[in-house]
Structure 1
Amino acid sequence: MFENLVMPAPDAILSLMASYRADPRTDKIDLGVGVYKDETGKTPVMRAVREAEKRLAAHQDTKTYLGLAGDVAFNAAMIDLVFGPNADKARLRAVQTPGGSGALRLLADLLNRAKPGATVWHSDPTWPNHIPILQSAQLKTQAYPYFDATTGSVRFEAMIEALMSANAGDIVLLHGCCHNPTGANLTIAQWTALADLLVEKNLFPFIDLAYQGFGDGLEEDAAGLRIVAGKVPELCVAASCSKNFGVYRDRVGAAIIMARDEAAATIAFTQMGAVARVLYSMPPDHGAAVVGIILTDADLSRIWREELDETRQRMLRLRTGLADELRKQSNSDRFDFIAEHRGMFSRLGLEKAQVERLREEHGIYIVGDSRFNVAGLPEGRLDVLAKAIVSVL
C-alpha cells in the first residue's frame, strides 16, 4: 500500500523552523514562525487564561461529549465577539471547531454541499494553507489582486475589477483584519465599497477572522466584517482564538454562518453538525471552555482585554521602531509601510536571494516571500536587524 506514496513537498515554514533550531549561532533571530512572542521570546499563557483554567479544573465534573456543535456558551459568546451584541441572532449560528483551520475546513465542506465545485476567490497573496483547505473540500480557487509589493499597499481598484468578473454565486474569501502574509488591510471606505459590490454581483463572503484584537482593537478589527454583514443577505466566518487568547495548542475556533432567515440558519446549522461528524466527530473541549469562561465573566473579560491591548500595543511599537531604524539605515522611506500595517505580519519586499543572504550571513530567518513575524522582532536589536536588511538590498 504505502509503496505508492511519494514524499510531499516540504512545508516552507516548518522547514525554516528546523533550520533555525539547527543553527548554532547565538545571535540568530527567528522571524518566521507565526506565533506571538513576548520580549523574552516566549509565547506566554495569559493571566486570564490561567485563572479560567483554575476555575474549570475546580468545577468541571465530567469529560463526556458536549455534542457536535461543542460548547454552547462558547458559541454564543463568539457570535457576540465577532458580530457585536446587537446582531440579529435569529440568523446566526456557530459551531465550535478545532482551531481556525478546522473552521475553515468545516465551512469549505459546508459550502461545497450547498454548491458543489463552487469557485472561491482568494487574495493574491493569501495564507498558504487557504488554497489546500479549499481544494481538499473540492472547491475551485481563483486569485484576485490584492497586494502591491512596491508600495506596500492594497491594490483595491485591481481587486474590485477582478471581482467584477466573478459569476453570481461565487464565493469571496476575505481576511477580516491583519492580512496574512502582508499586514495590509482594507480601509473602512474600501470595506463599504466591497460590500456594495458583493451585493451587486450576488457574491458570497467567506471571512477568515484569525487575528481579531491584534490590529486596532477588538471592535475596530471586526468593523469591516460587520459592514459586510449589514449589507449582504448571508455569509460565513472562520474565527480563531489561537492568537487573541494565546491558546495555540488547545485548538480553539468557531465556524459561524449568517443565513437569509432563521429557517435557513437552522438548516445550515444542522448541516454543519453533519460535516463535523465526518471530519472529527466532536470538538475538543478544554480550550473552548476556558475561552467561554473568560468571555462570560466580567472580571476575567476585563483582564483579558487589558492583556490583549498590551500585546497589540507592543506589536505597534515594534512596527514603528523597525520602520524608524530602516529609514535611518536606508536613508529612504521605502519601509515606512511597516508602521502602517497591522497584525503579526508584513512583507519586506525582498527577493528570495536576499532572504537567503539574511539567513546565511546574519542568522535572520524569515519566510522566502520575505514575510516576517512582527512579534518576533528583537526589541533591543532593531538597529542591528535594520542594518542587516539594508546590507542585502
Structure 2
Amino acid sequence: MFETLKEQPADKILALVQTYREDPRDPKIDLGVGVYKDASGNTPIMRAVKQAEQQLWEAETTKAYTGLAGDPAFADAMIAMVLGDAVPRANVAAAATPGGTGAVRQGFDMIRMANPDARVFVSDPTWPNHLSILKHMGMEMVPYRYFDDESRGVDFNGMMEDLAQAGRGDVVLVHGCCHNPTGANLNMTEWKALVDLLLKTGATPMVDIAYQGFGDGLEEDAAATRLIASSVPETIIAASCSKNFGIYRERTGLLMAVAADASAHKLNQGTLAYLNRQNFSFPPDHGARLVTMVLSDDALRADWAKELEEMRTGMLALREQLAAELQRLSGSDRFGFIAQHRGMFSRLGATPEQVDRLRDEHAIYLVGDSRLNIAGLNKDSVPILAKAMIDVGI
C-alpha cells in the first residue's frame, strides 16, 4: 500500500537549516530558524530551568503517567501566568500538550468537533504551520489582511473589513503578541476594537500565544489575551513554553478553553482529555513539571523573570542597533519599523530575489518571505547584515 503515498512538500524553514549547515563559508549568518540564540549563537538552558532540573533529579521518585490532561498544577501555573485574574479559574478547562504546536492542533480538533463546518480566519501572513495543519485536517481557511507591505505595520482597516465577514460558528485565529512572521502587532486600542467586532459577529477567538515575555514584558504581552478572554463568551488559547522557558525539545504547551461561566467546565475538560487520549494519550511531563517548579518557587521565578527580561531587552537593543545602522547607511528612516516591531521576528519586505542574493552573495540566510529572526544576530553581525541589505537593494 505504501506505493500509493504521495511525496509531501518539504518544510521550507527546515530545508533552509540544512542548506545553511552545508554552506562552507565563514562567516555565515542564520536568521531563518525560529529559535532564540544568545550573543555567541547558542540556545542556552535558562538558569532557573537548570536549577529546577537538578532539584527534580533529586526529588523525582516515579516516571508513571500523569493524567490525560497532564498535571493540574501545571495548568494552574500556566493559566495564572497567561490569564492572571482576567477570568475565574473555574471557567477555564485546560490540557497539557506536546508543545505549543500540539496545543494548536488540539484546538483545531476541538473546533472541528464543536462545528465541522467552522471556517478558521487566519492572518495574511501567519505562521506557516497554522496553514499546514488546517489543510491537513481539511478545515476551511479564510485569510484576512494583516501586514501592510508598504508601512511594514498592521493593515488594521483591511483586517477589520475582512473579519466582519466572520460569523457565529467561525473562529478568528490571532497571535497574542509578537506576531510570527511579521513582528507587527496591534495596539490596545485596536485590540479593543477587535473585541467589539467579535462580540458583534459572534465569531469565536482563538489565541496562539507563543512568545509571552519576548515583546514588551510578561504582563504587557498577556494584556491582549486577557482582554479577549474576559470580554467574549468563549475563547480558545494555545500557549507554548518553548521560547520563554527555553525548553524547545521538551515539547511543553497548554490548550485552554475559556467559557462564560463554570457550568461548561466539566464538558470542556472532558473534551480536552478525550482529544489527548485519541492523539497521544498522556502528554509529556518533564518540561511541564519544570515550568511548574519555576513558576511556583519565588526564588526560581524571580531568576527566570530576570533572565527572560535580559533576553527581551537584548533583542530590543539589536533592533535599535540594526535600525540605526540602516539609517546611517541609507540616509533614510524607512527602516524604523524594525525598532518598532516586537518579538523574535520582523518581516523586511524584501523580494525573493533579494533574499536569494543575501544568501548567495553574503551567506546570510532568511526565510523566503524575508522573515528575519532578530535573535540570530549579535552586535558584531548587525553591521554585516545592514551593509548586505543595502547592497542587495532592500
Q: TM-score category by the smaller chain?
A: over 0.9
| Amino acid of the structure 2 residue aligned with 1:6 | K
- The answer to whether the 8 Å contact 1:29/1:378 transfers is no
Report how far residue 334 of structure 1 moved.
Answer: 1.5
For 1:46-65, list aligned pairs within 5 A: 46-65=46-65
Q: Name 1:68's counterpart in structure 2.
A: 68
Report how far residue 273 of structure 1 moved.
Answer: 0.6
| Amino acid of the structure 1 residue aligned with 2:215 | G
In the TM superposition, what whole-angstrom CA distance separates every residue of 1:10-42 from its partner, at most 9, and x where no partner exists? Answer: 111011101100000111100000000000000
Q: Name 1:306's counterpart in structure 2.
A: 306
Report how far residue 167 of structure 1 moved.
Answer: 2.1
Three-state SS of the structure 2 residue aligned to 1:53 is helix
Structure 1 window deviating more from structure 2 (359-368 vs 371-380): it is: 371-380
Q: Name 2:202's counterpart in structure 1.
A: 202
CA distance in 1, matches of 2:275, 2:151: 42
Three-state SS of the structure 2 residue aligned to 1:254 is strand
CA distance in 1, matches of 2:374, 2:111: 34
Q: Name 2:92's counterpart in structure 1.
A: 92
Structure 1 window deviating more from structure 2 (158-167 vs 43-52): it is: 158-167
CA distance in 1, matches of 2:141, 2:342: 26
| Amino acid of the structure 2 residue aligned with 1:238 | A
Three-state SS of the structure 2 residue aligned to 1:69 is coil
Q: In angstroms, what is the RMSD of aligned CA positions?
A: 0.9
| Amino acid of the structure 2 residue aligned with 1:106 | Q
Q: Name 1:389's counterpart in structure 2.
A: 389
TM-score, structure 1 normalization: 0.98
Q: Name 2:276's counterpart in structure 1.
A: 276
- The answer to whether the 8 Å contact 2:39/2:378 transfers is yes
- The answer to whether the 8 Å contact 2:238/2:254 transfers is yes
In the TM superposition, what whole-angstrom CA distance separates every residue of 1:144-198 from its partner, at most 9, and x where no partner exists? Answer: 0000011111000110011112222210000000000000000000000100110
- The answer to whether the 8 Å contact 1:112/1:138 transfers is no
TM-score, structure 2 normalization: 0.98
User: Which consecutive unaligned segments of at least 5 residues does structure 1 have?
Assistant: none
In the TM superposition, what whole-angstrom CA distance separates every residue of 1:285-310 from its partner, at most 9, and x where no partner exists? Answer: 11100000001111100000000000
CA distance in 1, matches of 2:41, 2:253: 25
- The answer to whether the 8 Å contact 1:97/1:254 transfers is yes
For 1:54-133, list aligned pairs within 5 A: 54-85=54-85, 87-133=87-133
Report how far residue 111 of structure 1 moved.
Answer: 1.0
Q: Name 1:15's counterpart in structure 2.
A: 15
Report how far residue 282 of structure 1 moved.
Answer: 0.7
- The answer to whether the 8 Å contact 2:168/2:203 transfers is yes
CA distance in 2, matches of 1:84, 1:151: 34
CA distance in 1, matches of 2:237, 2:86: 17
CA distance in 2, matches of 1:68, 1:267: 15
- The sequence identity of aligned pairs, in percent, is 53
When the two structures are aligned, how many residues end up with a matched partner?
A: 393
Q: Name 1:183's counterpart in structure 2.
A: 183
- The answer to whether the 8 Å contact 1:318/1:374 transfers is yes
CA distance in 2, matches of 1:197, 1:85: 24
| Amino acid of the structure 1 residue aligned with 2:374 | V
CA distance in 2, matches of 1:32, 1:139: 28
| Amino acid of the structure 2 residue aligned with 1:359 | R
| Runs of 4 or more above 4 Å deviation | none
User: Which consecutive unaligned segments of at least 5 residues does structure 2 have?
Assistant: none
In the TM superposition, what whole-angstrom CA distance separates every residue of 1:261-292 from its partner, at most 9, and x where no partner exists? Answer: 21212201101111110111111111100000
Q: Name 2:367's counterpart in structure 1.
A: 367
CA distance in 1, matches of 2:174, 2:86: 23
Q: Name 1:163's counterpart in structure 2.
A: 163
Three-state SS of the structure 1 residue aligned to 2:96 is strand
CA distance in 2, matches of 1:3, 1:138: 23
CA distance in 2, matches of 1:263, 1:66: 25
Q: Name 1:148's counterpart in structure 2.
A: 148
